[in-house]
Structure 1
Amino acid sequence: MLTFNVDWSGEFFAFFLLAVCAIAGAVLAVNFTKVVHTALSMAFTFVSLAGLFILLRAEFVAFVQVLLYVGAVTILMIFGIMMTKHQDEGKEAGRPLQETLAAIGCLCLFGILFYAIRSAGFPAPADPLPGDNTMAIGKELYTGYAIPFELVSVLLTVAFVGAVALAKREEAEES
C-alpha cells in the first residue's frame, strides 16, 4: 500500500532540509516567549519557504516571499515591538494534559494528511511552464491586472499611514 520510491538526488535532499527548517522555524515561532525571537524564527521560516519555491521553479514567488515577508513583515513586527511597551510576563505553568492531547492531535492530523497525499493521484500539468516565468508574471501583472495592482498599492499606503496615525495618537494620550 505505502511504497516509497524515493529518488535520492540533491533536489530531494534540499527539499527535505528546507522542509525541516520551515517546520522547525514555525514550531519555534509558536513556542518562543520573547517576541523578538518569535519574529526571527518567522523570518527563518519565510526564508525556508522561499527556498522551497525555488525548488518548485517559482523564482518570482520566492523573490516576493523574501522581499515582502522576510523584509517588510519581519521588520514591521520588530518596529511594532520597539514602539510598544512590552513588559516581560512570567511564562504560564505547563499543562501536561493539554500538551499531550495537542501532540496526539498533531500526530493524527499528520497521519491523515500523509495517507491522503500518498493515495491521491495528481494529474500531469497540461501546459509546461514558460521558460522565463518571471517575465510572464510581470507582463500579466502590468497588462491584465494593472488596476488591481495599483489599488493594492494605494490600500497598503493608506494602511501604513493609518498605523502611524494610531501610534502617534496613543503616544499623545500617554503623555
Structure 2
Amino acid sequence: MIGNIVSFLSSGENIAFFICALLAIGGAIFMISFTKVVHMVAALAITFISMAGLYVILEAEFVAVVQILIYAGAISILMIFGIMMTKHRQGEEEEPHRPWHNGLLFVGAAALFGMIFYAIQKTELPSGSFPKVDDNTLEIGKLLFNVHVIPFELMSVLLTVAFIGAIIVAKREED
C-alpha cells in the first residue's frame, strides 16, 4: 500500500494532480462548512481554480481558461454582488456546538478516500488511444462554429435577453 503511494507520487504530473485534487476537495468541504457567505465564495473560487489546474493536467487548456474566466471570475463576482445587494441580519442564531461532529466528519472523509483509493488501485481500465490534435482550441472552434452553430447562437441570444432583463429590473428598483 505504501509502495503504491510512493510510486504514485514519483512524477511531477501526479504530484500536481494530488495538490489540485486536495485543493478542490478542501475548497468544497470548506464551502459547505463555513457560515459566512463571503468565506463560502472564496472557498468556491479556490475549488474552481483547482479544477482549472486539473484541466491543465488533462491537456485541456481551453477548458481550463474558460473555467477560470467564467467560474472563478464571473460567477464569484456575481455571487459577491448578490451578497452586497441583499440584506443580511447580524446576530443570527448559531448552531449548537457538537464536539464529535468534526471528528466524525474526518473519519468519514478518510474512510471514503480509502475506499476510492482502493477501488482505483484494483480497477483494470481498458487501454485505448485517442487521436492527438495539435491545437485543442482550434478543434473546439471548428466544432462550435460548424456542427454546433445553432445552439451557440441560441445561447448568445439567451444571454443577451438575460442581460437586458437584468438592466430593466435594476432600473425599476432605482425609480
TM-score (norm 2): 0.82
Superposed CA RMSD in Å reads: 2.7
Query: Across the two proteins, how many residue pairs are aligned to each other?
Result: 172
1:142 matches 2:145? yes
C-alpha distance in structure 1 between counterparts of 2:116 and 2:164, whole Å: 42
What TM-score results when the alignment is normalised by the length of structure 1? 0.82
2:126 corresponding residue in structure 1: 123
1:27-42 pair list within 5 angstroms? 27-42=29-44
Q: Which amino acid aligns with 2:10?
A: W
Distance in 1 separating the partners of 2:17 and 2:157: 37
2:156 is matched with which residue? 153
Instruction: Give the deviation of 1:103 after TM superposition.
Output: 4.2
- 8 Å contact from structure 2 (residues 9, 15) kept in 1: no
Q: Distance in 2 between matches of 1:162 and 1:108?
A: 47
Q: What are the Cα deviations for residues 115-150 of structure 1, in whole angstroms up to 9, with x where unaligned?
A: 222221222233232111111111111110011111
Task: Look up the match of 2:13.
Answer: 11
- The percent identity for this pair of structures is 52
CA distance in 1, matches of 2:107, 2:84: 37
Q: In the TM superposition, what is the alpha-carbon distance from 1:163 to its structure 2 partner?
A: 5.0
Structure 2 counterpart of 1:114, one-letter code: F
* 166 and 106 in structure 1: CA distance in 2 versus 1, 3 angstrom threshold: farther
Runs of at least 5 residues in structure 2 that lack an aligned partner in the other structure: none
> What corresponds to 2:74 in structure 1?
72
